Amino acid sequence: MTAKTRRETVDLAAYPDLIVVLLGFHIRRLRSLPALAGIGRGLAAIAREPPDGLLRDERCLYAWNHLGIRQYWRDPDSLEAFTTAEPHATWWRDFLRDPRGSGFWHEVYSARGGVEAVYVNMPRRPGLGAFAPVRQPVGPFLSGRDRLRADAQARSAAAP
Three-state SS letters, the chain? CCCCCCCCCCCCCCCCCCEEEEEEEEECCHHHHHHHHHHHHHHHHHHHCCCCCEEEEEEEEEECCEEEEEEEECCHHHHHHHHHCCCHHHHHHHHHHCCCCEEEEEEEEECCCCEEEEEECCCCCCHHHHCCCCCCCCHHHCCHHHHHHHHHHHHHHHCC
Predicted confidence (pLDDT) at residue 93 exceeds the cutoff of 70: yes
**Percent of the chain residues topping a pLDDT of 90:** 54
| Residue 65 resides in a domain | yes
Domain annotation covers residue 2? no
Instruction: Kindly report the CATH number assigned to the domain that includes residue 95.
Output: 3.30.70.100
- Is residue 51, in this structure, part of any structural domain at all? yes
Determine which of 14-28, 97-111, 113-127, 131-145 has the lowest per-residue pLDDT on average.
131-145
Domain around 98 = 19-158
The answer to whether residue 11 is domain-embedded is no
pTM value?
0.89
Per the structure, how many domains does the chain have? Answer: 1
